[in-house]
Amino acid sequence: MLELIFTALLVASFVTLFVKNGRVAAVISLIASLLPVAAIIDWGNEFGLKIFSFGLEKSMDFSIAGITMHFSVTALAWFFGVMIFFLIPPIMLFSYSFFEKNRGFFPFMLFLITAVFGILLASDFLTLFFFWELMAASSFILVYMGRDRKAIISYLSFSVLSAVLILTGIALIYSQNGTLLFSNVAFSADEVTVSAIILMIAGFAVKSALMPLHAWAPFVYSKADEPFVAFLSGGLSKMGYYGMFLMLFALPGAKILQQYFDSTVATYILALIGAISAFIGTLLAFMEDDLRKLLAYSSIAQLGYIAVGFGIGSSLAITGALFQAFNHAFFKSVLFLAAGAVAYRTGKWKISELGGVAYKMPFTFMAALFSIFALAAIPITSGFAAKWLLYEAAVSNKYIFITPIMLIASVGAFLYSFRILYGVFLGENRHDDIKEAPLPMVAGMFLLVMPLIIFLIFPGYMLDMMHSALVNAGIGTVSHTNYVISTGMASYNTIAVVVGMMIAMIPAFLIYVLRKHRNIDFKDNFLAGEPYEIYGHISMHAANNFYKPIEDVLMPYLRKGATSFYMALYNAMGRVSKTVRRIYTGLSQDYAIYVAVFLLIIMGWLIW
Amino acid sequence: MVMHPVLMIAIPLLSAFIMPLIKKAHRYFAFSILLLNTALSILLFAKVYNEGALYETIAGFSPPVGIYLAVDNLSALLAFLINIFATINFLTSRQDFRFSMLYLLGVAGATGIVLTGDIFNMFVFFEITAVASYALVASKKDRKATEGAIKYMILGSVGSVFMLVGIAIIYSQLKSLNLYDIAARISSMDPKMMWLSFSFLLTGIGVEAELFPLNGWVPDAYEGAESNISSFLSFGPSKASIYAIARLLIIFSMSRTYELALYLGIVTLLVGELAAFTQKNTKRMLAYSSIGQMGLILIAFSLMDKTSYAIPAAFFIIVSHASAKSALFLLSDKDGFGDMSSKYAGLAGVLSLIGMPPLAGFWGKWYLLMGVADEKIWAVAAIIIFSAVIEAIYFARYLYKNMEGKESSRNSIPAAVMVSISIVMGILPILYNMAGGVLNA
C-alpha cells in the first residue's frame, strides 16, 4: 500500500508534466495530495487522531538489487506529517485559480511532496539523505521558475551547503557505528559523533533559515510563485526542524552534547541563535517595504522561536516549540497566500503602493487577520498558547538573556503585523477596480485558518498529538486536559482566556458600532509620524516610512549583517578566482614550462 | 558466443580507414559501427561480470608484439560508457567523412586505453586518441579552434614523450610491458628508477587527464572546438586517461603515490572550481569545471587503497561527469535553453554534477564523502564541501544565464538522451555492485 502512495504521487507528477491546462493539473494534484493526508489520518489511529482507518502498513523495506531503503512511520514523523501534509490540499486549491497555465508548478510540487513523504518515513540515513536531496532538487526547480538571479544562486548554493554538511555528518556517524539504521545507531560522547551532530544540525538549520544561514530566504521567498513560497515557508522549513529534532532528541544528540561539553553550552547556543534570529528577523521585517520580503523576515523570526524551544530542551519548551512550528506552518502559509491573492488582483507587492484592499477583498482580509493574530500571539488563535509555553519555559529555566530578546521580538511582531494590516488591507482605498479573490483561493485560505482556531480552544488536542513523539524521545509531556494546560508555574485555561478576551472586546465593539464614523485623511497625524526637518516632506504613515527614525538608527548596524558578509565572501572568491585564472596565461610555452616544473617537483618529492 | 574484447578496438579502428572510400554513406556506416561497438561492450560487460576478469592475448603473439588485453568490471563498464556516449554524441554530427573517420579513431583509442593490459599498447592507444583529438579540435575552421588544437598538440606531444620515457625506464629494468607483470615485480625495481618512471608516466598521462598544472590546453581546446567535439573530449580521452592513472596507481601501489595523487587531486579540484567561478564564457567555464571534476575523480581514486568506497565513488563521478558535462557541452552551441529537451538536459545535467538524486552524481558524492569520513581526513572533507558550494554557485549562474533562449540548440535531443543515462545509472543501484564496490551501507 505504502509503495502505491509513492508510485501514485510520482505518476501524478509525471502526468501533470504534460498537462498544459493549469486547472486540470491542479485537480490532478489536489487529488494526489490527498493521498499522504489519507495516510496520515490512517496512522493517526495509533498516534492520537482517531478518524478512520483503512489498514495502511506502518513500515516498508524497499530494495532494488543492492540497496535497501527502510521506511517506517514514527510518532515524530507523524506529527510533522500532520503539520505538513494538511497544508498541501488547501494550497493546491489556491493554485487552482492562481495558475491559468501549468508552467511546471504542479509536477515539481508533487515531486516535492513525494520527497517530503520519503524524508518523514525514512528510518535510515541513506533514505533520509536521498529524499532530502530530492526535496532540494525539486524545490530548486520551483525556485528556478521564479527567474531571479539572486534567488537561484543563493538557493542552490545553500542547498548544496546543507546537503554536504548533512552528508559529512552521516558519513561520520556511519564510520563510528557501521550502520545507518536509526534504530541501531548508538551515539557515544566522542569527538567524531559530536562533530557529526553539529554538522548535521548546521545542515538542517540551512533549511529552517536560522541565522546566519538564512541569507537565501529573503530572495527566494520574494521571487518564487506564492503557493510554492507558502509551502516553502510553512512546510519545508519544518523539515529542517524535523531533522534537528531527530538528531537532538530522537537519537539523543542533546544528551551527548551535554556529556561531551559537560554543560548545556551547545544547546544554549542553539537557543541563543534562535532568539537572535527572532530578534533580527523582526527588526528587518518591520522596515521592509516589499510585502513578500517582510513575510520572509517574519518567517525567519518566527522560526527562530522553534530553535529557542529546542535549545532549552525541557518538555515545556519542546512542546511550545512544536506547537509554534505547527501554528507557523498554517499562519505563514495563509499570509503568503493572502499576499499572493492580493498580488493576483492588484499586481503589486509594495506596501507603500497598496492600501484599502480589505474593502474589496474582505474574505482575504479575514483570513490574513486571523493569521496575523496567530503570528502576534494574540489569544484569538492558537498562536498564543505556543508562545506562552515558550516564554514560560525560558523563564522557568532562568534564561535571563534569551527571554528578554524573545519578548522584544514579540513586540516587534506587532509592529510589522500592524503594517501589513494597515498598509495593505486598510488605510486609504487605492483600489476601486478590484474584486474579491476567486472562490478556490478564499476557500484554501480559510481551510488553513481553521486549525488555528480549533487549537486555540482545544490546545489539549495538539498536546495529545505530540504526546507519543515526546514520550518516545524520552522528553516527558506537559500535563493537560482538553482546555487546560498545567505547568509547574501556572495553568492556562483556554476557555477563561477566550471568554476574557471576548469580554474585553465587547466594549471596543460597542464603541465601534455606536459611535458616529468619520473618514480621516490617509495622512492624518493620527497615524502619521512627525517628519523631521531634514526629511522635508516625506510622509511617514503606517504604509510608508513609518519606522524611519528606528531605521536610521539601526540600519548601519544591520547592513553589516550576514547577507553582506556572504556578498563580501562572494566578491573575495571572485578575486581569488581571477587570480587563479592568471595561471592560464594562454601561452603554450608557459604551459610547457608548467609540465616540466611539475615533472621535476614530483620527481624530487618522490625520490627524496 | 564469440565475444572477444579486441573486436571493440579493431572494428572501429579498421572501419575508420574505410570511411574515405564510402564518402556518401559514411554517417550511417560510422553510426552502425558505434552501435555495434556499444552492443559488444554490453556483451563484454556481461561476460566479465559473470565470469570474472578477462585476460586475452591476441593471435598467439606474446607482448610486446601482440596485443594483450585485461578487462575487469570497471574497465568493461567504462568501455561501455565511452561507446554509448560516443554513439549518442555521433547523432549530432553534421561534419563530413573526415570527422567520422577521426571520431572512430578516437573512440577506438579511448576504448583501447581502458581495455589494454599492456603499457606499451596503452601508449599506442593514447597516441591514436590524442592524434584524432587534435585533428578533431582543429576541424572547426576558425582561429580559436586552431589555437586550441595547437596548444593541445604541443602539450599532448610533450606528454606522450614523457610517457614513452617512463615506459622505457620500466622496460629497461623489468624487461616487461605487461601491467600485471609489472605490478607483481615493481618492488624489485631500483627505487630511484621506479620513482623516475612513475613521475614520467604520471606527467605524460596527466596531460590528457587534465591534471593541474598539466592542463593548460584544456580551456582553449574546449572553447575552440565544435561543441560536439568538446563533448567527445569530456567523455572520451579524459575519462580513459583518468582510468589509466588509476591503473598506474594500482601498479605502483605505494602509500606515497596515493598521497601524491590525493594532493594532486585536491589542487586540481580547487584550481578548476575556482577558475570556473568567475568565468563568463560558457564553454570555458565548463572546461574549468571539468578540470575540477577530474580532480574529484582523482581524489576518489587516491583513496583506493584505504577504503572500498573509493571505486564506486570514482565510477559514479565519472558517469555523472561524462554524461552531464558532455550534454552541457552539446548545448553550449547556443545561448540559452530554447526548447523543452534542452531545458531538461541543462537542469538535469547541472543537478547531476552538483550531486542531486536521482542522478548518478548523487551516488558519487555519497560514496566519496563516505570514504573520506571513513578515513577521517578532515581537510579533504572541508575542501570537498567548499568546492561543492563554489560549483553550485557558478552552475546556478549558468542556469540563470541560459534560462531564456530564443533558438534551440541543434543538439538538444542527444543531450537529453545523454543526461537520461545519468538518471538511469542513478536509479538502478544494480550497477553499484557491478562497479565492484561495497554498496549496501
Question: Is residue A403 pLDDT above 80, yes or no?
Answer: yes
Query: According to the 3-state scheme, what is the secondary structure of A445-487?
Result: HHHHHHHHHHHHHCHHHHHHHHHHHHHHCCCCCCEECCCEEEC
Closest-CA residue of chain A to B197:
A603
Which residue from A263, A148, A284 is spatially nearest to A212, judged by alpha carbons?
A284
Residues in chain A within 8 Å Cβ distance of B256: 606
Query: pLDDT digits over B159-196, tens only?
Result: 999 999 999 998 888 888 888 888 888 888 888 888 88
Query: pLDDT digits over B64-77, tens only?
Result: 556 677 787 788 88
Structure ipTM: 0.89
- Domain layout of chain B by residue ranges: 254-441
Residues facing residue A486 across a β-bridge: A479, A491
Residue A16: inside a domain: no
Angle formed by the axes of helices B143-174 and B119-138, to 10°?
Answer: 170
Q: What is the mean pLDDT of chain B?
A: 85
> Is A286 found in the same domain as A412?
yes
Residue A598: inside a domain: yes
Residue A184: inside a domain: no
Average of per-residue pLDDT across A555-559: 76
Examine the fold and report which residue of A505, A528, A552 is the final residue of a domain before the chain moves on.
A552
Closest-CA distance, A72 to chain B, in angstroms, reads 18
The separation between the first and the last C-alpha atoms of chain A, rounded to the nearest angstrom, is 65
Residue B441 is nearest to which of A141, A174, A597, comparing CB atoms? A174
User: In the structure grid, which three cell numbers stand for residue A348, read together?
Assistant: 503589486
Q: What is the mean pLDDT of chain A?
A: 84
> Is A523 found in the same domain as A443?
yes
> Is A525 found in the same domain as A377?
yes
Q: Do A581 and B384 touch (CB under 8 A)?
A: no
> Is A422 found in the same domain as A516?
yes
Average of per-residue pLDDT across B54-58: 72
Average of per-residue pLDDT across A369-395: 83
Q: Do B260 and A599 touch (CB under 8 A)?
A: no
Residues in chain A within 8 Å Cβ distance of B203: 595, 598-599, 602
Q: Do A126 and B196 touch (CB under 8 A)?
A: no
- Least confident segment among A176-185, B307-316, B422-431: B422-431
Residue A79: inside a domain: no
> Is A452 found in the same domain as A593?
no
Domain housing A570: 560-607
Residue A592 is nearest to which of B155, B370, B391, comparing CB atoms? B155
Closest-CA distance, A117 to chain B, in angstroms, reads 15
Residues in chain B within 8 Å Cβ distance of A606: 195, 198-199, 256-257, 260
Beta-carbon contacts of residue B3 (< 8 Å; ≥ 6 apart): B40, B43, B44, B47
> Is A416 found in the same domain as A380?
yes
Closest-CA residue of chain B to A152:
B396
Examine the fold and report which residue of A524, A552, A580 is the final residue of a domain before the chain moves on.
A552
> Is A394 found in the same domain as A282?
yes
> Is A530 found in the same domain as A430?
yes
pLDDT value, residue A64 = 63
Closest-CA distance, A522 to chain B, in angstroms, reads 42
Closest-CA distance, A377 to chain B, in angstroms, reads 38
Q: What is the DSSP string of A300-324?
A: HHHHHHHHHHHHH-SHHHHHHHHHH
User: What φ, ψ does residue A289 adopt, rounded to 5°?
Assistant: -95, -30
> Is A540 found in the same domain as A418?
yes
**Tally of domains in chain A:** 2
Residue B110 pLDDT level (bands cut at 50, 70, 90): very high
> Is A529 found in the same domain as A565?
no
Question: Is residue A526 pLDDT above 60, yes or no?
Answer: no
pLDDT value, residue B439 = 33
> Is A399 found in the same domain as A523?
yes
Examine the fold and report which residue of A552, A575, A591 is the final residue of a domain before the chain moves on.
A552
- Which of B147, B248, B273, B278 to mutate to probe the A interface, most A CBs <10 Å? B278
Residue A201: inside a domain: no
User: In the structure grid, which three cell numbers stand for residue B18, read together?
Assistant: 574505410
- Alpha carbons A385 and A380: distance in angstroms, whole number: 10
Closest-CA residue of chain B to A173:
B373
Residue A157 is nearest to which of B220, B374, B393, comparing CB atoms? B393
Beta-carbon contacts of residue B212 (< 8 Å; ≥ 6 apart): B264, B267, B268, B271, B272, B291, B295
> Is A570 found in the same domain as A440?
no
Residue A97: inside a domain: no
pLDDT value, residue A576 = 93
Closest-CA distance, A75 to chain B, in angstroms, reads 26
